[in-house]
């Protein structure tokens, strides 16, 4: 009965969470449509005539990123992970592939086309791509070598990085609702924009790090024998 109840609660929470992801997912699929149309350049600044590599990278980027965002919450459900190990492995493999694609395509696009916010945004987003790419490689490596503790740490990092692009939009939405857009400019040159270039992933990685160290010392009593 307790199991059933907690299953219902986590099901409801998951449904709520998906509702908050929905607008960005819908936007993502819309942009894939734009990327695949032959008039992409007239419909979004992300695409340009004659830039086949950058245009393809952006379309692939949005496709892989949106799928990653849609699927990654399922990987953290304890019930699924503990009872259906094969599902966890299959989905995990897919998520790693999607994260590598999202990061690689984004890091291909940035040197070719830059970003709407200029050099600081380009550098920050590139670093974000490197983080996502590294976390995906490490979570796979730790699964393959059977290092459970590190697989868990890298899995948490990958999860928060996979949500990063959505968190960026969440920060903007909440800030505009609260302040009407204080410190934010259309060309992303305001102080709020500059902070946001990093604020959608660096603080989350730090918080995850604190969480990991506390859990680890709680479990093992001694930090130095831990992973």
In terms of phi and psi (left: phi > 0; alpha: psi -120 to 50; beta: otherwise), the region of 84 is: beta
- Return residues touching ligand HEM (CB under 6 A): 28, 31, 46, 61-62, 65-66, 68-69, 102-103, 106-107, 109-110, 115-116, 125-126, 128-129, 132, 162, 165
Sign of CA dihedral 203, 205, 210, 215: positive
Among residues 80 and 123, whose Cβ is nearest to ligand HEM?
Answer: 123
Q: CB of 212: closest distance to ligand HEM in angstroms?
A: 21
Among residues 28 and 143, whose Cβ is nearest to ligand HEM?
Answer: 28
Among residues 40 and 216, whose Cβ is nearest to ligand HEM?
Answer: 40
Q: How many whole angstroms from its chain centre is CA 155?
A: 12
The answer to whether the beta carbons of residues 99 and 136 sit under 8 Å apart is yes
Q: CB of 154: closest distance to ligand HEM in angstroms?
A: 16
Among residues 92 and 103, whose Cβ is nearest to ligand HEM?
Answer: 103
Among residues 85 and 189, whose Cβ is nearest to ligand HEM?
Answer: 189
Residue 147: strand, helix, or coil? coil
Q: How far is Cα 143 from Cα 57, in angstroms, rounded to an integer?
A: 29
122 contact partners, CB below 8 Å, separation of at least 6: 110, 114, 115
Q: CB of 77: closest distance to ligand HEM in angstroms?
A: 18
Among residues 75 and 216, whose Cβ is nearest to ligand HEM?
Answer: 75
Q: How far apart are the first and last CA of the chain?
A: 37
Q: CB of 113: closest distance to ligand HEM in angstroms?
A: 7
Q: CB of 126: closest distance to ligand HEM in angstroms?
A: 6
- Tell me the C-alpha to C-alpha distance, in Å, between residue 134 and each of 52, 55, 103, 155, 158: 27, 24, 9, 11, 9
Q: CB of 165: closest distance to ligand HEM in angstroms?
A: 3
Chain position whose Cβ is nearest to ligand HEM: 129
């Amino acid at each position: 009965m307790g199991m059933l109840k907690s299953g219902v609660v986590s099901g409801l929470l998951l449904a709520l969470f998906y509702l908050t992801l929905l607008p960005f997912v819908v936007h993502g699929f819309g942009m894939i449509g734009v990327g695949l149309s032959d008039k992409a350049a007239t419909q979004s600044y992300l695409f340009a005539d004659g830039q086949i590599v950058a245009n393809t990278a952006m379309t692939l980027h949005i496709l892989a990123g949106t799928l990653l965002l849609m699927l990654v919450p399922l990987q953290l459900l304890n019930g699924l992970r503990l009872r259906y190990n094969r599902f966890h492995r299959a989905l995990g493999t897919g998520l790693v592939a999607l994260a590598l694609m999202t990061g690689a395509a984004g890091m291909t696009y940035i040197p070719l086309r830059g970003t709407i916010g200029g050099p600081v945004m380009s550098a920050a987003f590139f670093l974000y791509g490197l983080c996502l790419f590294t976390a995906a490689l490490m979570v796979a490596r730790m699964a393959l070598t059977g290092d459970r503790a590190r697989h868990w740490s890298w899995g948490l990092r990958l999860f928060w990085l996979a949500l990063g692009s959505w968190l960026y939009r969440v920060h903007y939405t909440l800030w505009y609702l609260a302040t009407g857009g204080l410190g934010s400019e259309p060309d992303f040159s305001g102080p709020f924009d500059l902070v946001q270039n990093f604020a959608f992933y660096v603080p989350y990685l730090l918080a995850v790090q604190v969480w990991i160290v506390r859990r680890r010392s709680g479990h093992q009593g001694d930090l130095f024998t831990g992973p």
